[in-house]
Amino acid sequence: MKKFPAIFLDRDGTLIEEVGYLDRLERLKLFPDSARAIRLINSSGMKAVVATNQSGIARGYFTESVVEMLNDHLQKLLQAQGAQIDRFYYCPHHPTEGLGVYRIACTCRKPEAGMLRQAAEDMNLDLSRSYLIGDKPTDIEAASRAGIKSVLIRSGHLPGQSPDLFLEGRNAGSGPDWVAANLFEAVCWILQDRQS
């Protein structure tokens, strides 16, 4: 069976504006170029897969059903602009702040690569030809652990944060393969990199 390459996407700060713990529809705002970037992925033959840490569930700020409702709403916003996420994955756990069953050191919470590996199994993905786009070091580390290339984007940070701060002091070779201004620029770089 043919395996597909994918572009894994962080959600908050990558596809949509970072607002802290997203818990309500009215706080969900797509970045201006998100739909255009996802349309590029869709037309490239690659799969568009969201992989997001949602420790607000573990912390008791909101439920899994809220995350699923927000993901459904995000999908509808994208579909209205001719774009489509192929599948959403989220980690509801936290190793120290979680409540009840959610307080575990799991293999799905980034920087672990569990969500990426699960998606590869579920969707018949070829990780060796896949990429990840995110706005935090945990995204880049998850990509590294899955053996895939990564792009760090600068657009996702709350005021006072910068991806450059996250990159300082990192070992050579442990950082992203590229740093882009935003999601659209990151997707353009990936599509060009695939040709090289």
Catalytic residues: 10, 12
Which token pair is 59?
Answer: 């912390």
Q: Under 8 Å CB-to-CB from 34, ≥6 apart: which residues? A: 15, 16, 78, 83, 183, 184
Q: Which two tokens stand for residue 168?
A: 């300082």
What residues does 180 pair with on adjacent strands? 153
Sign of the Cα torsion 162, 129, 142, 27 reads positive
CA distance 129 to 135: 21
**Residue 2, Cβ neighbours under 10 Å: how many?**
5
Spatial neighbors of 169 by CB under 8 A, at least 6 apart, are none
Query: Residue 177 CA to chain centroid, in angstroms?
Result: 16
Q: Which residue has the tokens 């050191």?
A: 105
